[in-house]
Amino acid sequence: MKITQIMYTNEAAGLSCRGEERFLPYGEALCLAGRAVPTARLWKKMQDDGAAEFPDQTGHMDGTCQLMQQSFTPRKAVYELYRTEAAQQRHIATITLEQFPRPTAIGGHKVRGHIAVSHPLTPSSTAEALSLAGVLDTAGQIALGLGVIRLVYDDTPPVADDDAARLRDELAQTQAYYQTLQESYDGYVQTLEQSLREWETRCPQEDVEKRALPLPDDYTSRLEKALEGFRVCLAGGSALWHDKVRTRFPHWMILENKHFDVQKLQGADVLIINTNHTGHALVRKACQQAASQGTLVCYTSRYNLNAAAADILYALGE
């Protein structure tokens, strides 16, 4: 059945219109007296129990609504909506959903389905009209919601609620998979860090390059003389490398990798960067500061102090 073949009439609101695409959202969710509820949930409740009760959160906000299924046939379903307040139950409206075997004229239009809100409660005063406005609107919400399922979806709730459940399941599975990947990544990083610490402990800096050809000169002494009187800063390298440098060159300024303070570079004449065990952010900040103040930058990737001194002397042109 096409949605344009449905007539919706609401005596409480004085409405009469033929179904259009704007009816379809009512098949997904509706507002029950101020609360958003999936239509499929209300439909299943009525199919299983034949009744549903919910608080009226409109008007004076102290009432309770009851929706009762009076009859349900392959062609027609009738519901009654009641509101209880201060131990007094009042009939609000009758909701009728009807499917015709052939196009039937209603309100000047030939349609195959009819959604009707009839016999509404007539307020006796302005105050009562204000207090009942919400529940009368709820009657229209229920009529359209159940009507779309009964007449458009042929008694099958729309897939919106099922899709939401499926998406929630997919989200939960994705989050679980991501958590597994995160744990694996964290474990891998911890393993690498532990291996690096063990390697640095087993291999003192002076033994790292044993397989290289021995250097013919004491470059550390030459470097000490070449940089005498200069303010030298060192960035990069491991903690063990820093300890070795402090022992041999106690007057050099060591820039920590984790707590890098670019202000310590101010006034430095030479910046030495060990490209091992360092980060791009540290190197970038250090080089930017050095360039801004005319500091000479030298690079080395050696852990052996004598080999590193040779690299630095070469960069200095010594």
What is this structure's pTM?
0.48
pLDDT of residue 259: 66
What's the average model confidence in pLDDT over 88-96?
Answer: 91
Of all residues in the chain, the percent with pLDDT exceeding 70 is 82
Dist. CA 152–CA 91, nearest whole Å? 28
- pLDDT recorded at residue 209: 47
In whole angstroms, give the CA distance from residue 18 to residue 138.
20
pLDDT band with cut points at 50, 70 and 90 for residue 163: low
- Spatial contact of 220 and 306, defined as CB atoms under 8 Å apart: yes
User: Mapping DSSP to helix (H, G, I), strand (E, B) and coil, where does residue 211 land?
Assistant: coil
Task: Count Cβ atoms below 10 Å from residue 200 Cβ, excluding itself.
Answer: 17
Band of residue 80 on the pLDDT scale cut at 50, 70, 90: very high
So what's the pLDDT on residue 158? Answer: 55
What span, in angstroms and rounded, lies between the C-alpha atoms of 210 and 218? 16
Asked if CATH classification 3.40.50.300 holds for the domain at 219-316, the reply, yes or no, is: no
Crossing angle of helices 219-226 and 305-316, rounded to 10°: 40
Residue 290's CB is within 10 A of a number of other CB atoms, namely 20
b/e for 176-189, b at 16 or more Cβ within 10 A? Answer: eeeeeeeeeeeeee
Cβ(232)–Cβ(272) below 8 Å: yes
- Hey, CA dihedral for 9, 13, 14, 18, is it positive or negative? negative
| pLDDT at residue 211 in the model | 47
pLDDT one-digit tens code per residue, 240-296: 888 888 888 888 888 876 666 777 788 888 888 888 777 767 777 778 888 888 888
Answer whether 40's CB lies under 8 Å from 161's CB: yes
- On the question of pLDDT at 111 being above 90, the answer is no
Going by the DSSP 8-state scheme, the letter that residue 62 receives in this structure is -
Q: Which H helix or E strand runs over 22? A: none
CB 39 within 8 A of CB 50: no
- The domains of the chain are located at 3-163, 219-316
Among 16-25, 111-120, 192-201, 222-231, the minimum mean pLDDT is found in: 192-201
At 4, the pLDDT band (50, 70, 90 cuts) reads low
Q: Give DSSP secondary structure letters for 230-275.
A: S-EEEEES-HHHHHHHHHH-TTSEEE-STT--GGGGTT-SEEEEE-
Please tell me the predicted confidence (pLDDT) of residue 17.
Answer: 83
Query: Residue 212's pLDDT is what?
Result: 46
What are the tens digits of pLDDT across the range 112-145?
889 999 988 888 888 777 778 888 888 988 998 8
Write the pLDDT tens digit of every residue in 175-216.
Answer: 888 888 888 777 777 777 676 666 655 554 444 444 444 555
Distance CA 196, CA 187 (A): 14
Contacts for 77-80: CB closer than 8 Å, 24+ residues apart? 77/146, 77/150, 79/46, 79/142, 79/146
CA-based nearest residue to 90, from 116, 119, 112, 51? 119
Pairing of strands 232-236, 270-274: parallel
